[in-house]
Amino acid sequence: MFYSDISADIDSPITRQPANSLEKQLVCPICLEMFSKPVVILPCQHNLCRKCASNPYLSARSSSTLASGGRFRCPSCRHEVVLDRHGVYGLQRNLLVENIIDMYKQGSTEVKQQQPMCEDHEEEKINIYCVSCSTPTCSLCKVFGAHKDCEVAPLESVFQSQKAELTDCVSLLVGNNERIQAVISQLEETSRAENGSRQKSKLCEAFDRLFALLEDRKCEMIVQINAEQEEKLDYIRGLRRKHSEHLENAAKLLETAIQTLDESEMALFLQVNLNTPEGSAEAFRGRGKWPNLSAVGVKMTCCSVTSPTIEDEDEEDASEIRGTLTGSHFEQQQHAAASANQQPAQPAGHQKCPEDPPTSKSPAPSPSTHPATPPPASQV
Residue 272 CB contacts under 8 Å (≥ 6 apart), including other chains: 256, 260, 263, 280, 283, 284, 299
Inform me whether the pLDDT recorded for 64 exceeds 70.
no
Most confident of 107-111, 221-225, 253-257: 221-225
In this structure, the dihedral spanned by the alpha carbons of residues 238, 239, 245 and 250, taken in order and rounded to 10 degrees, is: 180
Select from 57, 75, 106 the last residue of a domain: 106
> How far apart are alpha carbons 129 and 142 in whole angstroms?
10
Q: What is the pLDDT of residue 339?
A: 59
Residue 27 φ/ψ, nearest 5 degrees = -100, 135
Q: What is the DSSP letter of 362?
A: S
Q: What is the pLDDT of residue 322?
A: 53
Residue 367 CB contacts under 8 Å (≥ 6 apart), including other chains: 344
User: Are 60 and 70 a contacting pair, CB within 8 Å?
Assistant: no
Q: Beta strands of the chain (E only): which ranges?
A: 39-41, 47-49, 71-73, 80-82, 92-93, 128-130, 135-137, 152-154
Helices (H) and strands (E) in the chain, counts: 11, 8
Average pLDDT over residues 71-80: 83
Indicate whether 264 and 203 sit together in one domain.
yes
Average pLDDT over residues 54-70: 47
Neighbours of 39 (CB within 10 A): 23
Inform me whether the pLDDT recorded for 80 exceeds 50.
yes
Indicate whether 207 and 280 sit together in one domain.
yes
> How far apart are alpha carbons 115 and 127 in whole angstroms?
9
Q: What is the pLDDT of residue 145?
A: 74
Indicate whether 182 and 241 sit together in one domain.
no
Indicate whether 101 and 30 sit together in one domain.
yes
> How far apart are alpha carbons 154 and 159 in whole angstroms?
9
277 found inside a domain? yes
Dihedral of alpha carbons 181, 182, 185, 191, sign = negative
Select from 178, 194, 210 the last residue of a domain: 194
Inform me whether the pLDDT recorded for 3 exceeds 90.
no
- Confidence band (pLDDT; 50, 70, 90) for 4? very low
177 residue type, one letter: N
Q: Which residues share a beta bridge with 48?
A: 40
- Residue scoring higher pLDDT (170 or 358): 170
Indicate whether 99 and 136 sit together in one domain.
no
Q: What is the pLDDT of residue 149?
A: 78
Indicate whether 176 and 220 sit together in one domain.
no
- Confidence band (pLDDT; 50, 70, 90) for 368? very low
- Residue scoring higher pLDDT (246 or 133): 246
Inform me whether the pLDDT recorded for 193 exceeds 60.
yes
Q: What is the pLDDT of residue 283?
A: 40
Inform me whether the pLDDT recorded for 340 exceeds 50.
yes
- Confidence band (pLDDT; 50, 70, 90) for 248? very high
Inform me whether the pLDDT recorded for 235 exceeds 50.
yes
Mean pLDDT of the chain: 69
150 found inside a domain? yes
Query: What's the predicted TM-score (pTM) here?
Result: 0.27
pLDDT in tens, 252-293: 999 988 988 888 888 888 877 554 444 444 443 433 333 333
Q: What is the pLDDT of residue 114?
A: 63
Inform me whether the pLDDT recorded for 333 exceeds 70.
no
Select from 224, 259, 287 the last residue of a domain: 287
Indicate whether 213 and 246 sit together in one domain.
yes
168 residue type, one letter: D
Average pLDDT over residues 318-342: 51
Q: What is the DSSP letter of 372?
A: P
- Residue scoring higher pLDDT (33 or 20): 33
pLDDT in tens, 127-165: 788 887 888 888 777 777 777 778 888 878 888 888 888
Q: What is the pLDDT of residue 239?
A: 93
Dihedral of alpha carbons 144, 147, 153, 157, sign = negative
Indicate whether 205 and 281 sit together in one domain.
yes
Q: What is the pLDDT of residue 315?
A: 60
335 found inside a domain? no
> How far apart are alpha carbons 109 and 87 in whole angstroms?
35
- Confidence band (pLDDT; 50, 70, 90) for 108? low
| Total structural domains within the chain | 3
Inform me whether the pLDDT recorded for 229 exceeds 90.
yes
62 found inside a domain? yes
Q: Which structural domain, as residue segments, surrounds residue 187?
A: 128-194
Average pLDDT over residues 238-263: 91
Angle at the Cα of 201 from the Cα atoms of 196 and 205, rounded to 5 degrees: 150
- Least Cα distance to 50 among 35, 61, 40 occurs for 40
Q: What is the pLDDT of residue 316?
A: 60
CATH number at residue 143: 3.30.160.60
Neighbours of 94 (CB within 10 A): 24
Indicate whether 30 and 43 sit together in one domain.
yes
Q: How far, in whole angstroms, is CA 278 from its chain's centroid?
A: 73
Q: What is the pLDDT of residue 212?
A: 94
Per mean pLDDT, which range of 55-69, 169-183, 292-306, 348-362 is the poorest? 292-306
Instruction: From residue 56, give the alpha-carbon distance in Å to each of 20, 42, 50, 268.
Output: 26, 14, 10, 135
